[in-house]
Amino acid sequence: MVAGPLSSGVAGLCAETGHRLGGSTRAAVEDVRRRLGQPLRVAIAGRLKSGKSTLVNALIGRRVAQTEVGECTRLVTQFRYGTADRVDVVRRDGTRVSHPLDESGMIPQRLNVPRGEIGYIDVTLTSDRLRDLTVVDTPGLSSTNAPISDETKRFLFDDDLDPDSAGALSGAEAIIYVFTQSVRADDVEALEAFRSISSRLSSNPINSLGLFNKVDKLAGGGDPWPVAGPLAEAQARILRRAVSDVVPVIGLLAETTEAGRLTAADCEALRELARLPEAERAVLLASVDLFTSRDCPISREQRERLLRLLDLYGINFAVAALVDEPNLATGDLVRRLFLASGFPRLRETLDQAFRWRSDAIKAGWALSTLEKIANHAERPADRELLRDAIERLIQRPEYHRLKLLEVAQLVSTGAVDLPEQMEIELTRLALSNDPAWILGMPGVPAPQLAKAALDAASRWRAFAVAGASPAQARVAHVAHRGFYLLSQQLRGQVRYT
């Protein structure tokens, strides 16, 4: 994985100082450098039957995670890139028991290890999707089955978790909360509980996303998106202290299209449905019961398979597309189904926003770790060498982003209260490198953006010295410098154009 500019700078610091350090300190610094190059780590949380594992399969691009409730769905499972497909059951003492994938290419339902001994499941796959992404699927939260929630805490977060498990599950740069239908009070409580027990995962609104799954259930087979969009926006307002945004998706469509599950025979069955007389087709597609029970040229087994792959909304969508364009190519049909899933927006968020933020999150973690290593170094020379290198690095203007991210987290969680417009302005500054978006001035030339950034810096400075509480003032001084540096950057663009 190509590291971001900030984490690359810290990795460079590790490389430059490492060979000059003593044995144990050198090993600790080398471990920091190694972890900086690891893929973006995304943890998936949610209720049982919220569709977490289906979304994991869509992210991976293969149907590997078991989607039916069973032993595997009650365990923490990590999916990462490897040179061979393999399932390792990692015991709490660190030992491993290896299994192949089952005959359908999924994690075996039976692991042959007592559940109380299991720390987590480590799955390595040759999927290219995992070269830049590691996915951690967690057991269901806030379920009616209380032991499941207890096991989530025990396996994921307890202090007695073995070092291998802790290493595998800590340091997620992005957290995705999956829920269905409208957010209930206990959903909010579950999210808050997950945040409170997931300090090792650094859960906060800056790096957390809400996924409103199964939105196709909103419209009984009709078009759900006119309802799903406004409902997701309302949920985002409810969860603003827990997630940065709420994205509506149809996880089953995403899994089917991303994992390549739709076969030529499936597409031919959809084409045959599209060729039926309109009245007959309308009755057949009116409900799941009618679709499976009425006489039809397509076998019942094939229709049941289509329901497992697409559900009623997906079948209706595909058939409508084929009625409009009978010669629509299979590949084009699959692409339209993928777009209809809402999944591209999630991919864009992970590929752009979270990957960009993860650079700062990783760099901040690494610098904090290096400071601890320096404090505990046995040789005074090692302590001074590391501290000097860290001080030189954080003096660079680009590393002010780490402070911006830190104060934005304080504000977004409500630890420091700001007027709403100032909170929005600070969050944009911390989460983007696009000056026009930060300043809310799309299409405006650089000279005007530079002036707007300088004006924003002046506003924040005035707020810091007049009327702000001590905590607000600390945040405001960081924001002031951030906008001032942005104005300098924009002036540089002016000079070179």
> SS3 sequence, the chain?
CCCCHHHHHHHHHHHHHHCCCCHHHHHHHHHHHHHHCCCEEEEEEECCCCCHHHHHHHHHCCCCCCCCCCCHHHCCEEEEECCCCEEEEEECCCCEEEECCCCCCCCCCCCCCCHHHEEEEEEEECCHHHHCEEEEECCCCCCCCHHHHHHHHHHHCCCCCCHHHHHHHCCCCEEEEEEECCCCHHHHHHHHHHHHHCHHHCCCHHHEEEEEECHHHHCCCCCCHHHHHHHHHHHHHHCCCCCCCEEECCHHHHHHHHCCCCCHHHHHHHHHHHCCCHHHHHHHCCCHHHHHHCCCCCCHHHHHHHHHHHHHHHHHHHHHHHHHCCCCCHHHHHHHHHHHCCHHHHHHHHHHHHHHHHHHHHHHHHHHHHHHHHHHCCCHHHHHHHHHHHHHHHCCHHHHHHHHHHHHHHHHCCCCCCCHHHHHHHHHHHHCCCHHHHHCCCCCCHHHHHHHHHHHHHHHHHHHHCCCCHHHHHHHHHHHHHHHHHHHHHHHHHHCC
pLDDT, one tens digit per residue, over 194-206 is 555 444 444 567 7
Mean pLDDT, residues 218-239: 84
Question: Cα separation of 59 and 40, whole Å?
Answer: 12
pTM of the model as a whole? 0.79
Cα–Cα distances in Å, from 372 out to 30, 81, 308, 439? 14, 30, 51, 37
- Rounded distance, CA 349 to CA 365, Å? 22
pLDDT for the residue numbered 189? 63
Domain residue ranges of the chain, discontinuous segments joined by +: 40-250, 255-340, 360-495
Q: Choose among 406, 432, 442, 440: nearest CA to 489.
A: 432
Summarize the confidence of residues 127-133 as an average pLDDT: 88
pLDDT of residue 221: 63
Q: Which residue has the tokens 């300043």?
A: 439
Which of 471 and 236 is assigned the larger pLDDT?
A: 471
Return the higher-pLDDT residue of 324 and 144.
Answer: 324
Percent of the chain at pLDDT > 70 equals: 85
Architecture of the 40-250 domain: 3-Layer(aba) Sandwich (3.40)
Q: pLDDT value at position 289?
A: 94
What percent of the residues of the chain are helix, what percent strand, and what percent coil, each to the nearest 5?
A: 60, 10, 30
pLDDT category of residue 184 using cuts at 50, 70 and 90? low
Of the pLDDT bands very low, low, confident and very high (cuts 50, 70, 90), residue 484 is very high
Residue 215 pLDDT = 92
First to last CA, the chain: 32
> In this predicted structure, which of 10-19, 72-81, 357-366, 488-497 has the lowest mean pLDDT?
488-497
pLDDT grade for 28, boundaries at 50, 70 and 90: very high
- Which pLDDT belongs to residue 151? 46
- What average pLDDT score do residues 176-199 get? 63
DSSP letter, residue 2? P
Please write the tens of the pLDDT for every residue from 402-454.
889 889 888 887 889 999 899 989 988 988 888 998 999 999 999 999 999 99
Question: Of the given ranges (31-45, 135-149, 246-260, 320-334), which has the lowest mean pLDDT?
Answer: 135-149
Residues of the chain with pLDDT > 90: what percent? 51
What is the pLDDT, as a whole number, of residue 161? Answer: 44
What torsion, rounded to 10 degrees, do the Cα atoms 140, 146, 148, 150 define? 110
Residue bearing the bigger pLDDT, 252 or 156 = 252
pLDDT of residue 260: 92
Q: What is the mean pLDDT of the chain?
A: 84
75 neighbors 115 (Cβ within 8 angstroms): yes
Please give the Cα distance from 417 to 387 (Å, whole number).
Answer: 33
Asked if pLDDT for residue 2 goes beyond 90, the answer is no
Instruction: Judge whether residue 157 has pLDDT over 90.
Output: no
Q: What is the per-residue pLDDT across 259-285, written as a single tens digit (0 to 9) for each?
A: 999 999 999 999 999 999 999 999 999
CB-CB contact of 41 with 400 (8 Å): no
Strand 77-81 and strand 86-91: the pairing is unpaired
Question: In this predicted structure, which of 152-161, 357-366, 370-379 has the lowest mean pLDDT?
Answer: 152-161
